[in-house]
Amino acid sequence: MAKIKRIGILTAGGDSPGLNAAIRGVGKTALGHYGMEIIGFRDGFRGIVENRRLKLDKNALAGILTVGGTILGTSRDKPHRMLIDGKTRDMTKVIVENYEKLGLGALVCLGGGGTQKNALYLSEAGLNVITLPKTIDNDVAMTDATFGFATALDIATDAIDRLHSTAHSHHRIIVAEVMGHRAGWLTLGAGIAGGADVILIPEIPYDVGKIAEAIGRRSRRGTNFSIVAVAEGAMSIDDARAFRAAEAKRERARTLHDKKEAKVELAALESRHTGNTMRLARQLEELTHLESRVTILGYVQRGGTPSAADRLLATRLGGSCADLINDGVFGVMVAARGDGTEPVPLQKVAGKRKIVPLDHPWIQTARHVGTCLGD
């Protein structure tokens, strides 16, 4: 096998703490240990399409370990469905051509679930692709952890800690919305660590009446405030039933008309779900007669200096990525496995999501300490 002399690297999807640490981990190992040259592409897959790049030498990698965000920039552009001059185009051929013109031996893609699918697509187009799992949601399949999660968990926990004092002072219900569209890892972890009284995650549809009952029991015991940690993707039992029905309809659809109809129905449900946390707070106020206030943590969970845990994870995943490239292992994601790493075929990762199992120890722990999960 010919020695690989030059590799490309890009960050795609949402930003996340630890991206720069991962870039540095790949870069310093590839440069210093294997003597490879590294090219960074700006703004995700669009950067390799438009050939916008920079050389990642030792100077470029210096001082980025503790910096949040990504020095390369990011985007949610897909290689096969990219908006170019106002039209959606398949740019796969252009990516392949630029990869070959630059003499790349491998392309490293840092990202979450969508990036894993896009990377598989490019791998099937003939490129040597390898990925690293990034997302604050911790929902990438086949890896113990994703970098970005630990930092976001710290931030969300700190926010819940701070909300306790104002909830107690004003005898209120504080509803804190935490990120996590379809997976509840972040809300569950922060809720337990922050001592939330109610934790609502997408995996467990909730009954507003049961939440109100739990808060009422606290009031009768003399505790006239409650903290509710709710994932942005958490749903009531009725809403979850409607979503399941719409998704089943989409899966059964055979004609183009039926597929479009199902897509419109799902979009309408998604739109209706916007503002769900505000509605929940109003419902709880009406049922408990306690003032309710909402705090939406939003993008603050993605920002700032990555935690020590994320720096360590990103660095060791990045180093292992360079090792695999040197060994000629491609078409894989570098997964965290215990204190080590493991290459997992992209076919086993793409299109899958790691959600919280209902028998997970974190759920059992929450129930044992008396936390209401809405069911």
Positions annotated as catalytic residues are 137
Q: Which residues, including other chains, have CB under 8 Å from residue 247's CB and lie 6 or more apart? A: 266
